[in-house]
Chains A and B, each alone.
Chain A
Amino acid sequence: MKKHLIGRPVPRKEGRAKVTGQARYVDDLVFPGMLYGATVRSRVPRGRIKGISFGEGIPWHEFTIVTAKDIPGENYVALIAHDQPYLADGAVNHSEEPVVLLAHPEKYLLEEARRAVQLEIEALRPTFTIEDSLNKKEIIWGEDNLFKSYSVEKGNVDEVWARADFIVEGEYRTGAQEQLYIETNGMIAVAIPEKGVTVWGSMQCPYYVHKALMALFGLPADKVRVIQSETGGGFGGKEEYPSMIAGHAALLAWKSGKPVKIIYDRAEDMAATTKRHPSRTRHRTAVSKDGKLLGMEIDFVIDGGAYTTLSPVVLSRGTIHAPGPYFCPNVRIRSRAVATNAPPHGAFRGFGAPQSIFALERHLNRVARAIGLTPEEFRRRNFIQPGQTTATGQVIRENVNMNHLLERALVLSDYHAKTARFARENSGQRRKKGMGFASFMHGAGFTGSGEQYLASVVELEATPQGRVRVLAASTEIGQGTNTIFSQIAADALGLDYDSIEILKPDTASVPNSGPTVASRTCMVVGKLVEAAALGLQQTLVGSGYLPEGYTPAGFERACKRYIESHGPLKSSSQYQPPPGIHWDDATYYGDAYGTYAWAVYVAEVTVDTVTFEIEVNDFVAVQEVGKVIHPVLAAGQIEGGVAQAIGYALYENVVWNEGRMFNSQMTNYIMPTAVDVPPIRVFFEELPYSYGPAGAKGLGELPMDGAAPAIVNAIENATGVSIHHIPVMPESLMEALAVTEKAVERA
């Protein structure tokens, strides 16, 4: 039996289909008699719908028109709370809120018709900022504008202030960010009242869509079918929103009796679908003379937009990551997700952690400066060690060595020599160079008891030809699910890469292996693939057909004989928490994650203090992620995540105008291109994790967390100015540099 695939850069499972154009994305699918669907949106951030009128010059009788009263089941997008309607009924709570749906065979006429629908909306006073929402200027959601709040208490923070040698405070903010997957959101639906609803589309979580459509149509599980088409990226942006667009396409299909396709163009996708939650974090930190953290008080607030969507869980992850990879005996975190009249914010790679880690890693530099230590020395004195507890009381049982990661990252980036050289050379220069780093971690899998609730299942089935099929709802969205599942299954069974097939996620044929989110696919679902593969092997061994030390040919013979005498050969595996994991939802205490990936990232920047241009010149990413299953895909995840975080730090500025994204075009919402991204040097430490497949952990979100604070720390190192919000725009850099109009260019 050979094991030879894990750790090797095997070709992507679906790579050939993608590069030869055989892969079929949702907009490639055409059904006979298909209509196109479009969405009429409120355009008013908050108000009451008084009337809907259909303008002149459009042959309205040719159109299928759907409003809230056409909904056969429940008018809400089933997720955590049931507050978000599929179609506004009476009230609108954000400017992109869907009110009317239209379908027509002709795309261009459809767009004109969409523009000809007039909504009469009586405007109410909207709330746009975290502050206004917290101050309850208007109550726009529930009783207090709060979707969710948490509090974490460890030790006794109240008594540390009196004995602290230093108390350092700071406030940090992060903006919204658009996921900018290459393929925009899209769905096709076929819905026939007697038969049920089927949708095809671009998505991360087929069973989320499934659950939402069951409620929308009042249908039993077997009458709703969700099929993932090839998906061009997600980053969280296809976690919850596909339920909305699938429902819309299905409502139009239900009413028209025809297949209906809805594809968002880039502007609609950017403006109307979920983005990263803007945040505000306040820190108050008590430190002793010898540079030890005594107490941390953290107030973390995220702007959830108009409806709950995933805000409670985004908040939860952001809260737990807020104290970072440090040990502090006394911690108090208060966190809140507030409502505003912006389109709902939602899942995006990192899921709350990039926000709270940005704040922490900026703040700790400020703390280090206040007490006269270098940023690295201050961190060395406070890194969490095996056996110590996190803010939620989780005992670190792994052999974490943040010091080692830090040293390695500093050596690889030539940090010490460069900081010294830049300090010498910067003076008198208008272009100043600087080094900055961030230390952080990211918990893999759902937070707390999340994985237990999901109770994911994976099934494997062998064919008489000795091929093995993996049945899971985990989606390939470009990140490599199909490839790593094949590696894991093949190695567990000692088979060739090509003898593994991954079935397309289709709720009619694959079990619910949970959503493709939270850095959980490799570690959690991959482990289920491994377990199911071993189960399959055991069945064959138990039946006496599979000899020890078998070859692939022997495996094939065994499958054939087994199936001939016993029927289908299947094995399934369901999630079991690792032993000793405890989490209490009520007290918010315990093991928040099975494990974490740990990292230190270093950025080198040049800042032109006269033109406010910022360049990232070099980037070193060192991380401990357990066993690396596929080195090229893993490095690709890190590089992509860092590039996305460079955008978060320096370019991607969602500008709001009356609650609408004003710059929803790729010419004005600017993102980094190949020339703006430096070489990203990726280094892995591999400490196998006992409960991941072959020792792997999750790593997909990790790179999003640390790059932005590393860059802003580097800007501070270069210029001496401290910036507390991202993205850093030229005008905010100017303010920070306090360049007056009169200032003459020096040097």
Chain B
Amino acid sequence: MQAFEYAHPRSMTEALPLLGSRWGETEILAGGTDLLSLMKNYVVTPKRVVNIKGLRELRGIRGTPEGIYIGALVTLEELRTSQPMHEYPALAQAAAGVTSPQIRNMGTVGGDLCQRPRCWYFRSGFGLLARDESGRSLVPQGENRYHAILGNDGPAYFVNPSSLAPALIALGAKARLDGQNGERYVALAEFFVIPKSDAERENVLQPNEILTHVIIPEGAWELSSATYEVRQKEALDWPLATAAVALKMQAGKVASARIVLGHVAPIPWPAPEAEKSLAGQPINEATAARAGEAAVQGAKPLSGNRYKVQLARVAVKRALLAAARPRSIGAKGGV
């Protein structure tokens, strides 16, 4: 790890000026479960690390007339266990899916959304876009069994690693970002972007902004939601593919649907075709399977990840069937 300056501000007004205006100068530290390994592996080498754990205003979950405010420092474990979250099974299940008590107790909501891609090339120092000297990506013909099958026209082939993001997007959540010039709200669906160069990041956050809250809009509790994950192993690992769905049901038929795939594209991947296929339909084996099919219509697997198309399709189907069942918190994850 490269030597760095450590700052431990006590308030937002103290914290914001400590952040640099260019990526690479400073990094925000929350639970540290991702940042520390990035620093140890020299993937990021900030000159200053700003620990935000002293910012009380970023803690806690509270209900307001506009919706539920989830502080960026809320841990995954709090999210999994807190009572209000039981109204949002997709989210509680996604948090429970992060299967290690250590990670869930240290990792935060803000950190989960802003964690960096797990792409082996990125983590081994080849850069975010993993390009060779001629500018071509090493991924499409390289080690890509865990890479993107959707949204992979380049230059990015990594997958967004957040399990929370698809669920939050399905529920219509937005993020509050605070900078020295005040705050702005961004729908989480627009928060994630596909970077075009190695200097860019995977979201619209500015280097001198802090993600302070995630807001689930009022009324989302009415939705029938679920997250389904496909994993190779049960703990201490990211899923291979996930789907989060949130359905508005009327008289047993789908009035509206949000379907978002995770771990299959450089951003949480919405599936409008799948959503459309469900309009006015009941959820059953056949409609769910059709939606799964529609969700992976545009998939373009790379040399080594064809199997993920199948996993994504199945995840959509199973998430839909789970959402349509009477409510219960996912059985997976209580480890």
A and B found bound together: yes
Across the interface, B143 reaches (CB within 8 A) one of A657, A674, A729, namely A657
Nearest B residue to A745 via CB reads B314
Q: Known: A108-B2, A657-B142, A673-B234. Is A745-B120 also a contact (CB below 8 A)?
A: no
Q: B232: CB under 8 A from chain A?
A: yes
Q: Which of B81-89, B272-280, B300-308 contacts A (4 or more CB under 8 A)?
A: B300-308
B237: chain A residues at CB < 8 Å are 667, 670
B113-150 vs A, CB cutoff 8 Å, 1 = contact: the mask equals: 00000101001100000000000000000110100000
- Residue among B289, B310, B314 with most chain A CB within 10 A: B310
| A657 to B123 Cα, complex, angstroms | 14
Contact B3 A108 (CB under 8 A): yes
A729: chain B residues at CB < 8 Å are 145, 232
Contact A745 B317 (CB under 8 A): yes
Across the interface, B99 reaches (CB within 8 A) one of A663, A668, A675, namely A675
Contact A741 B231 (CB under 8 A): no
Q: A734: CB under 8 A from chain B?
A: yes
| A667 to B232 Cα, complex, angstroms | 13
B40: chain A residues at CB < 8 Å are 265
Contact B310 A676 (CB under 8 A): no
Contact A613 B231 (CB under 8 A): yes
| CB of B297 to closest CB in A, whole Å | 11
- Residue among B235, B236, B240, B301 with most chain A CB within 10 A: B236
Q: Known: A667-B37, A730-B240, A731-B305. Is A611-B230 also a contact (CB below 8 A)?
A: yes
Contact B306 A734 (CB under 8 A): yes
Q: A651: CB under 8 A from chain B?
A: yes
| A674 to B304 Cα, complex, angstroms | 29
B233: chain A residues at CB < 8 Å are 650-651, 670, 672-673, 676
| A108 to B123 Cα, complex, angstroms | 20
A111: chain B residues at CB < 8 Å are 1-2
Interface residues of A toward B: which range?
35 or more
B41: chain A residues at CB < 8 Å are 267, 665
Q: B42: CB under 8 A from chain A?
A: yes
A745: chain B residues at CB < 8 Å are 289, 292, 313-314, 317
Nearest A residue to B229 via CB reads A611
Nearest B residue to A611 via CB reads B230
A144: chain B residues at CB < 8 Å are none
| A676 to B335 Cα, complex, angstroms | 11
Q: A739: CB under 8 A from chain B?
A: yes
| A650 to B237 Cα, complex, angstroms | 14
| A224 to B32 Cα, complex, angstroms | 44
B145: chain A residues at CB < 8 Å are 729, 731
Q: B98: CB under 8 A from chain A?
A: no
Q: B309: CB under 8 A from chain A?
A: yes
B235: chain A residues at CB < 8 Å are 673-676
| A730 to B123 Cα, complex, angstroms | 22
Nearest B residue to A614 via CB reads B232
Q: B27: CB under 8 A from chain A?
A: no
| A665 to B40 Cα, complex, angstroms | 11
Q: A503: CB under 8 A from chain B?
A: no
Within 8 A of A (CB), among B12-39: 37
B147-171 vs A, CB cutoff 8 Å, 1 = contact: the mask equals: 0000000000000000000000000
Across the interface, A611 reaches (CB within 8 A) one of B236, B299, B314, namely B314
| CB of A403 to closest CB in B, whole Å | 36
Nearest A residue to B123 via CB reads A665
| A730 to B315 Cα, complex, angstroms | 15
A666: chain B residues at CB < 8 Å are 236
Q: A655: CB under 8 A from chain B?
A: yes
Q: A610: CB under 8 A from chain B?
A: yes
Q: Known: A662-B120, A670-B237, A744-B289. Is A613-B37 also a contact (CB below 8 A)?
A: no
A731: chain B residues at CB < 8 Å are 145, 304-307
Across the interface, A741 reaches (CB within 8 A) one of B37, B143, B304, B310, namely B310
Interface residues in B, total, Cβ within 8 A:
40
Nearest B residue to A742 via CB reads B293
Q: B311: CB under 8 A from chain A?
A: yes
Within 8 A of B (CB), among A694-747: 729-731, 734, 739, 741, 743-745
A99-132 vs B, CB cutoff 8 Å, 1 = contact: the mask equals: 0000000001001100100000000000000000
Within 8 A of A (CB), among B199-242: 230-237, 240
| A267 to B41 Cα, complex, angstroms | 9
Contact A662 B124 (CB under 8 A): yes
Nearest B residue to A672 via CB reads B233
Across the interface, B310 reaches (CB within 8 A) one of A673, A674, A739, namely A739
B1: chain A residues at CB < 8 Å are 108, 111
Q: Known: A613-B232, A676-B233, A741-B306. Is A668-B142 also a contact (CB below 8 A)?
A: no
Contact B335 A674 (CB under 8 A): yes
A743: chain B residues at CB < 8 Å are 310
| CB of A295 to closest CB in B, whole Å | 39
Nearest A residue to B99 via CB reads A675
Q: A612: CB under 8 A from chain B?
A: yes
| CB of B216 to closest CB in A, whole Å | 29
A612: chain B residues at CB < 8 Å are 307, 310-311
B123: chain A residues at CB < 8 Å are 665, 667-668
| A263 to B5 Cα, complex, angstroms | 25
Within 8 A of B (CB), among A257-296: 265, 267
Q: Known: A611-B311, A674-B235. Is A655-B143 also a contact (CB below 8 A)?
A: yes
Contact B2 A675 (CB under 8 A): no
| CB of A607 to closest CB in B, whole Å | 13
| CB of A523 to closest CB in B, whole Å | 35
| CB of B316 to closest CB in A, whole Å | 10
B293: chain A residues at CB < 8 Å are 744
| CB of A672 to closest CB in B, whole Å | 7
Nearest A residue to B228 via CB reads A611
A108: chain B residues at CB < 8 Å are 1-3
| CB of A213 to closest CB in B, whole Å | 31
| CB of B235 to closest CB in A, whole Å | 4
B99: chain A residues at CB < 8 Å are 675
B313: chain A residues at CB < 8 Å are 745
Task: Supply 8 A–B pairs (Cβ within 8 Å), ascending by A.
Answer: A111-B2, A611-B314, A657-B142, A662-B120, A667-B236, A668-B123, A731-B304, A741-B310
B binding-site residues for A, Cβ under 8 Å: 1-3, 37, 40-42, 99, 118, 120, 123-124, 142-143, 145, 230-237, 240, 289, 292-293, 299, 301, 304-307, 309-311, 313-314, 317, 335
The 8 residue pairs across chains A and B that have the minimum distance between CB atoms: A734-B307, A675-B234, A731-B307, A673-B235, A611-B230, A675-B235, A675-B335, A676-B233
